[in-house]
């Protein structure tokens, strides 16, 4: 058993938070990144973090493997997606008001927005 004096206690109180923050760094990163496997990373970190390998694994896990980026910008049904140009026969929608556009329309008949941009 350690002989636990006041000096050791002060050192522990000063260093402790940093050690804890470092220990839970993978979980903190996972939470900050809204990682889909935050729970798994936190558990791995908690239970195996004291083995350097578990900690390293959790850290790497927290830094990689974020699946697809956020879904495409919300809006009217994706007909003739951006940059694809007019698709023959495809229904297009005004990006401003959502009105259905005639296939050859340059301006939205409802709000007048330039439907090409």
DSSP string, 46-96: HHHTTSHHHHHHHHHHHHS---SPSPPPP-S--SS-TTS-PPTT--EE-TT
**Residue 19 engages Zn ion in binding (rule: CB under 5 A):** no
Q: How far is the CB of 109 from Zn ion (least distance, A)?
A: 8
Considering beta carbons, is residue 66 or 97 the nearer one to Zn ion? 97
Considering beta carbons, is residue 48 or 96 the nearer one to Zn ion? 96
Considering beta carbons, is residue 47 or 107 the nearer one to Zn ion? 107
Considering beta carbons, is residue 81 or 110 the nearer one to Zn ion? 110
Binding marks (x or -) toward Zn ion, 97..116, rule CB under 5 A? x-x--------x-xx-x---
For residues 104 and 96, the answer to whether their CB atoms sit within 8 Å is: no
| Alpha carbon distances (Å) from 81 to 37, 78, 107 | 31, 6, 17
Using only the alpha carbons of the chain, give its radius of gyration.
27
Site residues for Zn ion per CB under 5 A: 94, 96-97, 99, 108, 110-111, 113
């Amino acid at each position: 058993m350690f002989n636990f004096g006041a000096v050791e206690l002060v050192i522990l109180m000063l260093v402790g938070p940093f050690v804890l923050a470092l220990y839970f760094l993978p979980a903190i990163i996972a939470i900050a990144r809204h990682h889909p496997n935050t729970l798994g990373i936190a558990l791995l970190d908690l239970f195996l973090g004291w083995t350097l390998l578990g900690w390293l694994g959790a850290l790497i896990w927290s830094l990689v493997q974020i699946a697809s980026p956020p879904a495409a910008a919300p809006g009217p049904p994706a007909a003739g997606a951006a940059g694809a140009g007019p698709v023959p026969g495809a229904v297009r929608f005004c990006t401003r008001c959502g009105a259905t556009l005639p296939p050859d329309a340059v301006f939205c008949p409802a709000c007048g927005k330039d439907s090409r941009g």
